[in-house]
Structure 1
Amino acid sequence: MGTLYCCNVILGFLLSVDFIIRSAGTEYLAPPTDFTFRMDGMFSLLWEWKPPMVNCTLTYIKNATLGNGLMKRDYGPRANLNLDIAEFDLNHGLSLQVEAVCDNGMKSKPVTYVEELMSGNENTSVRNFSCVWYYEEYVNCTWKAGQDTPPNVHFIFQYWVESESETVPTKFSDLLDTGEPCQKYFPSDGVNLGCQFKFQQSSLNIKNLLMVVSDRSKTIKPFIFHTDSRDIAKLRPPTIIDAHRTANRSIYVQWNVSQNHNKLDYEVLFNMSSSEKGEIFPLAEVFHTELRNVLPEVTYKVKVRVKLSLTYIQWLWSDWSEETILPGDDSGTTTSTVLLIVIPIIVVVAAIILLICLKRLKIIICPSIPDPGKMFPSDLQEWLKSERPNSHHKPEKEEVCPVSLLEYSLPSSQIS
């Protein structure tokens, strides 16, 4: 047993030594060199490098770390990597790791290349940036000053729209001051915190938009925003052209839209006047609907909104249409209200009358019997033996029910 254990130990030691020797003698390919980073059109970036001088067929393992923490992996013979700017956050640094692999199994050590599109302190860039494309007519963008943005900074907004005849500089930073200027700023306390520019296109056309917010003194890090025009499109609210009650206790609603699109989704909101939260009915590619089994005495409020119907895009809903009110038939409600008021009053009056007559009713049902103790002394024998005046002892006055008097009174015919 001891001999076997010693043999295993010696064998493990020899294998470890052999691995170390082999590792020390491993040969690597020369790594790729001369990395360059440039724009490849307005909305894409391109990394290129020089292949190592080797006598074999090369392929490359490419791992790009994008600014939003995502990874893009590629494997192939091309000595470049193309990135669509929609794939990553342009406001953070990008890094690329490349490893060359020869067809004989040899490979190079990984080489990492880092690129920053815009230099500067990220805390000086604007934040909470958002845009909405209204009614296929104009775009509104808003933002807030960054955490370390200098006071009284003068923000500048520029934008670029995808075009086939565009001239693109090599460096991304050279784009500044080449875009279309803002047409209308939204100032707040003397600081521009928003911009509006015209963008009259059909929302079905795919257009890339690039926007940059910087400042005139170039003291802040420019903020870069890219979007597909469809992602920020917001259609005009529908117009309700008919809303009425039907004979079968339903509400019929019909509307139209100003934009002429083939595929549209709708939401119809029915809200009872007595309820704060209504019920939403989703519809597709129709311009009317009917709500069944409604209560005739209840007032209903109706409104509609619309968006384009594409499953792979999260379209923005339009604003709600102007609210249409359908008053209820209040005749039944009025009757119910009157009954609710009158019935308690009748019950109260009846209770008062009953309390007043209860005492008299008690006398009729249970007439009072005179108490002899109130007319005679406690010792009747002594009272009979004693001398007493001629006048008799008058009993205490008793309350006599008027009904009792009527029983013993003679009819008027007998009195006559």
Structure 2
Amino acid sequence: MDIQWICVVTIILTWFCTGSSIHQTSVDPPHNLQIIDPGLLGYLYIEWHPPSSLPVLDQCTIRYKLKYRSTGDADWKVVFTKKLKYGDGFDLSKTTEAKVQTLLEGRCTNASEIQSDWAHATFQVPSPGELESQIRDFHCVYYNWEQLTCTWQVGQRVPPGACYEFYYWYEGLECAVQCEDYIQTHGRNAGCHLRNLRQAEYLDFNVCVNGSSEATRLRPSYFTFRLQNLVKPSPPEKLSVSIAADKEVHVAWSPPGGGVPPNCLDYEVQLAEDDGYADATWVFASTQMETAFTFSQSNRSHVSCVRVRGKTNMFCADKGFWSEWTQECFYVSRKDEKQLFLLITVVLSSLSVFIILILAARCKKKSKKGGSGQCDE
């Protein structure tokens, strides 16, 4: 009996040791890699299936390494995932490239990572119409964080009667939406106004401008951007300027009204120095979120104009547009002009008093001669 148990234990140990010494040394790549266009103006899905043969998954972890880019991009975007699907935005005017490989690690590989070969796929949207029929000079501005305005010029070769249409999509919309407020030039759509886009902020905003005519189709144009990077705020408000006894110029203002968060604005202040009414020389100064600034005037006695503008800062956006300058231009008179003004004021005041005294004397003299209580000039 003891001999039988010894045999059984020996067989089990031999099987275990033999089995544990056999490790996975290779793994198949994913198969059926596809790039799918769901009609969301550049947002594509990259999908694949697991490898045809896999080890026992309770002994190994399987992941996938995905790389993708648009043709012409220098670098690949890289994603590690356990899922079989990934989505991102692409420029549909270019070819999209994607490749994925299997990564295997765990007991079945003796804790080392095994990589498969790459599976490859490409995707290109058909481009109907001539290249010269595409729109030109596409430009968008998100005014005061409230209204997106996009404009464009018609293509170089566009047949009469051609019409352009503007579509947009961002994550959260079920499908692409057409513009409802077009800007028209010479009877053609040349721009679009969009409002109520708060839900689209800090998301990829995908745009397609396409068109057609009775003669031919026009080539579509695709764009992807983020609204916070297109903000142009309104000018600062309530600008005030004061001059201290030491000739320092103190400038203060308030953030503009509207949708731009005050903590998202940096400012630039300009002070113009004008020597003898010659061309003004502007002195620049930048501030970070502060709404006041002081220029040292210890060695200056020039006529100065002060103005301020704002721009979204690095804490809220990667880039943006400067606002217009404040409309007010505060001038500080030169010292000699102030003295001349005071002298003229004193002389005019003295002359007025002198004239009043003369008139009073004449009135009194006539009153004595005529006995009348009235004084005629």
- 1:138 equivalent in alignment to 2:143: no
- Aligned in 2, Cα 1:197/1:76: closer, same or farther, shift over 3 Å? closer
Q: TM-score, length-normalised on structure 1? A: 0.59
Cα distance in 1 for partners of 2:204, 2:35 equals 25
Partner of 1:306: 310
For residues 296-349 of structure 1, give each alpha carbon's deviation from its aligned partner in whole angstroms, at most 9, with x where no partner exists. 6421111101123334622322111114131423636999xxxxxxxxxxxxxx
Judge conservation of contact 2:101–2:115 (CA < 8 Å) in 1: no
Larger CA deviation: 118-127 vs 206-215: 118-127
Partner of 1:50: 49
- Aligned in 2, Cα 1:114/1:323: closer, same or farther, shift over 3 Å? same
Partner of 2:357: none
Q: Which has the larger radius of gyration?
A: 1
Cα distance in 2 for partners of 1:317, 1:161 equals 26
1:72 to 68, 71, 77: 77
- Aligned in 2, Cα 1:152/1:68: closer, same or farther, shift over 3 Å? farther
1:316-335 matched pairs, under 5 angstroms: 316-329=321-334, 331=336
Cα distance in 1 for partners of 2:87, 2:199 equals 27
Q: Quote the offset at 1:214 in angstroms.
A: 0.9
Where does structure 1 lack aligned partners over 5 or more consecutive residues? Answer: 1-26, 169-174, 336-416
- 1:223 equivalent in alignment to 2:218: no
Partner of 1:126: 135
Cα distance in 2 for partners of 1:159, 1:49 equals 28
Percent identity between the aligned chains?
20
Judge conservation of contact 1:63–1:74 (CA < 8 Å) in 2: yes
- Aligned in 2, Cα 1:191/1:291: closer, same or farther, shift over 3 Å? same
Cα distance in 1 for partners of 2:116, 2:199 equals 51
Cα distance in 2 for partners of 1:201, 1:30 equals 42
Cα distance in 2 for partners of 1:42, 1:193 equals 19
For residues 373-395 of structure 1, give each alpha carbon's deviation from its aligned partner in whole angstroms, at most 9, with x where no partner exists. xxxxxxxxxxxxxxxxxxxxxxx
Partner of 1:115: 123
The alignment partner of 1:262 has SS state of helix
- 1:214 equivalent in alignment to 2:210: yes
Residue type matched to 2:304 in 1?
Y
Cα distance in 2 for partners of 1:66, 1:47 equals 13
- Aligned in 2, Cα 1:158/1:333: closer, same or farther, shift over 3 Å? same
Work out which structure has the larger RCO, using CA pairs closer than 8 Å and 6 or more positions apart in sequence.
2
For residues 352-404 of structure 1, give each alpha carbon's deviation from its aligned partner in whole angstroms, at most 9, with x where no partner exists. xxxxxxxxxxxxxxxxxxxxxxxxxxxxxxxxxxxxxxxxxxxxxxxxxxxxx
Judge conservation of contact 1:253–1:288 (CA < 8 Å) in 2: yes
- Aligned in 2, Cα 1:71/1:321: closer, same or farther, shift over 3 Å? same
Residue type matched to 1:48 in 2?
E
- 1:167 equivalent in alignment to 2:167: no
Judge conservation of contact 1:67–1:91 (CA < 8 Å) in 2: no
Residue type matched to 1:97 in 2?
K
Judge conservation of contact 2:35–2:44 (CA < 8 Å) in 1: no
For residues 124-150 of structure 1, give each alpha carbon's deviation from its aligned partner in whole angstroms, at most 9, with x where no partner exists. 322331200112332221223345554
Cα distance in 1 for partners of 2:40, 2:289 equals 38
Cα distance in 2 for partners of 1:30, 1:135 equals 50
Judge conservation of contact 1:136–1:199 (CA < 8 Å) in 2: no
Residue type matched to 1:113 in 2?
A
Judge conservation of contact 1:206–1:229 (CA < 8 Å) in 2: yes
- Aligned in 2, Cα 1:123/1:115: closer, same or farther, shift over 3 Å? farther
1:186-197 matched pairs, under 5 angstroms: 186-187=184-185, 189-197=186-194
Cα distance in 1 for partners of 2:303, 2:64 equals 70
Where does structure 2 lack aligned partners over 5 or more consecutive residues? Answer: 1-25, 341-377
Cα distance in 2 for partners of 1:223, 1:40 equals 14
Partner of 1:385: none
Cα distance in 1 for partners of 2:166, 2:42 equals 18
Judge conservation of contact 2:149–2:192 (CA < 8 Å) in 1: yes
Cα distance in 2 for partners of 1:106, 1:201 equals 43
Judge conservation of contact 1:118–1:221 (CA < 8 Å) in 2: no
Judge conservation of contact 1:98–1:112 (CA < 8 Å) in 2: yes
Judge conservation of contact 1:32–1:98 (CA < 8 Å) in 2: no
- Aligned in 2, Cα 1:30/1:292: closer, same or farther, shift over 3 Å? closer
Aligned length: 292
Judge conservation of contact 2:266–2:287 (CA < 8 Å) in 1: yes
Partner of 2:97: 95
For residues 105-140 of structure 1, give each alpha carbon's deviation from its aligned partner in whole angstroms, at most 9, with x where no partner exists. 5844x4431112453355532233120011233222
Q: TM-score, length-normalised on structure 2? A: 0.65
1:238-249 matched pairs, under 5 angstroms: 238-249=236-247
Kindly indicate which of the two structures has a greater share of residues assigned to strand.
2
Q: Quote the offset at 1:183 in angstroms.
A: 0.6
- Aligned in 2, Cα 1:304/1:43: closer, same or farther, shift over 3 Å? same
